Homo-oligomer: A and B are copies of this chain.
Amino acid sequence: MSDIAAGDLGSWFAPDELAQIRRRLPILYIDAVPVRVDADGAIESIALLLRTPREGGLQRALVSGRVMYHERIRDALARHLDKDLGPMALPKLPVSLVPFTVAEYFPTPGITPYHDPRQHAVSMAYIVPIDGDCQPQQDTLDITWLTPEEALNPGIQAEMVDGHGALLRSALSHTGRIV
């Protein structure tokens, strides 16, 4: 959930104003698990975003971001997929907006499998098949496509941020691909 750069909210809130609101209201997010599927719709691979956070090390993340004022969830999904995977990704957005899970990120760890030190965020999570080509954007170093088995490797899971590992496992379980 490292998507909120100055540019994302700056047009709406001054930084200290935003910081204040984040301590007082749950913030609405979407999470997207980008996947490639075979001709029958079964998941073949998952895209993980590779980043190097300011504090050093490597982090892997799913697509994630805030829903803006007066923005439809569908538009927020399209915007964040475009922002993180590039304009040629050709994501296939879901026909229904019922999420496969609702991830509650608390600033306090341990309440749910999800954690975000900056804020209380509630995220509706979707699995999104990708038909086109993905290019790393902005602060993303690389986009790695992993099979479900590879993505569940403990080394990879340990690099995933803020409960995105739990989110990925939940997505794979939901599709029956791995349980």
Residues of A in contact with B (beta carbons under 8 Å apart)? 12-13, 21, 23-28, 35, 37, 39-43, 67-75, 78, 92-102, 104, 106-108, 111-113, 120, 122, 124, 127, 129, 166-167, 169-170, 173-176, 178-179
Contacts and interface: CB of A to CB of B under 8 A. Distances in A.
Stoichiometry (number of copies): 4
A155 to B, nearest CB: 19
Nearest to A37: B95
A69 B174 contact: no
B74 A102 contact: no
29 contacts: A13-B24, A21-B25, A23-B69, A25-B28, A25-B69, A26-B67, A26-B69, A28-B28, A37-B95, A40-B75, A40-B78, A41-B74, A41-B93, A41-B94, A42-B95, A67-B122, A72-B112, A73-B104, A95-B129, A95-B175, A96-B100, A96-B127, A97-B175, A98-B98, A98-B174, A99-B102, A113-B176, A113-B179, A173-B179
A152 to B, nearest CB: 12
Given A100-B98, A179-B173, A92 B92 contact: yes
